[in-house]
Amino acid sequence: MDKFMEEALKEGRKAIEKNEGGPFGAVIVKDGKIIAKGHNRVLSTNDPTCHGEIDAIRKACKKLNTYDLKGCILYTTGEPCPMCACACLWANIEKVYYGCSISDTEDIGFRDNGFYKFFEQDKRKNYFIQTEKVKCLTLYNDYKNKKDKKEY
């Protein structure tokens, strides 16, 4: 079995053994070595964003002292939800290997599949509502015109 997925599985097992969250573990690999491990800790941290992938991304960034994980590969026991999928994109993770699919995750009681449908079916407009655009654009323009900013 793939040695990196084996480590991701160990992480996922930690999450359920300690009732920290769902069976989701992840590891991040750079140059053939694991640089960070994480698992779902939504329940133990009361942080709904502390999924295995985001936990591992935060730890890898801390270790490498950067927000840019270019050249890193992520292994995770379950296909990332849209939040974690996009977190991988923001972090510039190169590729993601996952074990169980979104429908497997639905079978054990999680909402990931519904969230993907929410995006695909463009249901966003009832939930996200635009307001005060002009005032907010002033802030955006101040950022655009700022000369000493670091682009990222």
Residues 63-122 that bind a second copy (CB under 8 A): 65-69, 77-91, 95-101, 104-105, 107-109, 111, 115-116, 118-120
Q: 6, 53, 79, 106: which is the annotated catalytic residue?
A: 53
Separation CA 45–CA 104 (nearest Å): 25
Asked if residues 17 and 41 have their Cβ atoms less than 8 Å apart, the reply is no
Max Cα–Cα distance, the chain, nearest Å: 55
132 is catalytic: no
Q: Does 27 bind a second copy (CB under 8 A)?
A: no
Residues 45-64 that bind a second copy (CB under 8 A): 45-49, 54, 57-58, 61-62
Q: Does 38 bind a second copy (CB under 8 A)?
A: no
Separation CA 137–CA 134 (nearest Å): 5
Count of chain residues binding a second copy (CB under 8 A): 85
Hunting for tokens 């379950």 — which residue is that? 78
Separation CA 37–CA 69 (nearest Å): 14
> Which residues are CB-contacts of 100 (< 8 A; sequence separation ≥ 6)?
77, 78, 79
Q: Does 18 bind a second copy (CB under 8 A)?
A: no
Which is closer to a second copy, CB of 29 or CB of 61?
61
CB of 151 to a second copy, least distance (A): 6
Which is closer to a second copy, CB of 71 or CB of 124?
124
Crossing angle for the helix pair 82-90 and 52-64, to the nearest 10 degrees: 20
Q: Does 125 bind a second copy (CB under 8 A)?
A: no
CB of 21 to a second copy, least distance (A): 8
Hunting for tokens 């407009």 — which residue is that? 125
CB of 31 to a second copy, least distance (A): 19
Q: Which residues are catalytic?
A: 53
